Structure 1
């Protein structure tokens, strides 16, 4: 399936006419330790999104830069504000809605985008523009991650390393051990009283990684991506079957 930006205006008319759902990948350009590419989150989101090959869905160009200020101390990190990111995503959705596709799944690869995506989705629905579902590509993978890696999702960890080994040739495998040597075991920095004062990744991780990147493999990455694609197809199935009228906000009571 061609992505929207690969179409001409003529063929786009046909593709948009068939589509019930638009799929928008979003990610980040931020540090993922010394071994993984800065674009890890976008590569993962787009890698899952573009594997949904069906006539009733159209994949939009990915949004590369996200809300990543908490990684700013590491070289290469780019960031925007939650407000700007939410507005930009909403503008893209509004554009595709003007072409008649008013149901959208945002396939997100970066946790820092979550609040902004929820904000955009609420506004788009309240303004009767589109029904937008923010969805992280790992949202339904906890059991598989636990079974195959005996862990939960971190950052530049075994999960993301596995996905990048499967989807790209950009992993610096000889630096995975360095990434792990400077990694934190968990996200954040807790102090007495249960407060988390790990506002930035640099507060608790020397390498920028959280977890155990050396456990990642391309084989596990293939399994993670395949299951995520199945989950996304199930979500698109559900959304395509809904009448837009039934997705509008409930009336006041």
Structure 2
């Protein structure tokens, strides 16, 4: 596996020249209820990115990828009432990601996948991707792991979910058993809401997580199981490798916006 931060500048030159795709893991450091650690999201993103790159680089007929350092703090202001949560503004996060990938493009690698572990980063990542594409600087679509495995999660769990739920708890239980507190899953669920947010007659009235979840969790974390987490992880990695291959085969010129007719 090629981790850019562990290369010297001379070794980095060779790694970047050989790479088809760069991979930028992004996440957050924020509350995930009483059973999961604050770093859940960036740990998940890093694990997906590293395992998928390891697999794709082992293949002799697939893409070659390089992993960039993980961005561990994201857009998490809606969790700010819970202890330990760190956050930056959407504007700061968008600019940071865009400028990081722009600096990479200066070294000749203009195709990337942002492997994202936090839903709150989504809007900023889409704007960054559009900005980089419109400027013809880089093509960097964001990949949310939960979206990639939503069909499997529907089969595995009976929940609407959304945060520190059975899906997230299962995944991290598989990846970092030492950081999950199984005895607290029941407490997390007792104070959780069924789904994300709160509305009155169609109007959103819950802007912060604490407005609708006392524990910080959303969903049914007691359904969590590490074996189900393994299934989620392996399936997500399969699909991420396929995305790497698709992007590697696509000429950069075909990634830019189409001209107006």
Of 88, 109, 127, the residue aligned with 2:135 is: 127
Q: Does 1:9 align with 2:9?
A: yes
Of 183, 199, 202, the residue aligned with 1:190 is: 199
1:25 aligned partner: 25
Partners in 1 of 2:161 and 2:143 — Cα distance? 15
Q: Does 1:88 align with 2:96?
A: yes
Tell me the TM-score normalised to structure 1 length. Answer: 0.97
2:60 aligned partner: none
After superposition, give the CA deviation of every residue in 1:13-33 in whole Å (9 maximum; x if it has no partner): 211111010010000011000
Q: Does 1:248 align with 2:256?
A: yes
2:190 aligned partner: 181
1:39 aligned partner: 39
Give the paired residue count.
252
Structure 1 position 96, deviation (Å) = 1.2
2:126 aligned partner: 118
After superposition, give the CA deviation of every residue in 1:60-110 in whole Å (9 maximum; x if it has no partner): 111000000000000000110111000000111011111111001001111
Secondary structure at the aligned position of 1:138 is classed as helix
Structure 1 position 177, deviation (Å) = 1.2
Of 38, 59, 62, the residue aligned with 2:67 is: 59
> What residue ranges of structure 2 are gaps of 5+ in the alignment?
58-63
Matches within 5 A, 1:157-176: 157-168=165-176, 169-176=178-185
Secondary structure at the aligned position of 1:178 is classed as helix
Partners in 2 of 1:237 and 1:152 — Cα distance? 32
Does structure 2 conserve the Cα–Cα contact (< 8 Å) formed by 1:22 and 1:104?
A: yes
Does structure 2 conserve the Cα–Cα contact (< 8 Å) formed by 1:145 and 1:151?
A: no
Does structure 2 conserve the Cα–Cα contact (< 8 Å) formed by 1:145 and 1:152?
A: no
After superposition, give the CA deviation of every residue in 1:25-62 in whole Å (9 maximum; x if it has no partner): 00001100011010111111111110022341111111
Tell me the TM-score normalised to structure 2 length. Answer: 0.94
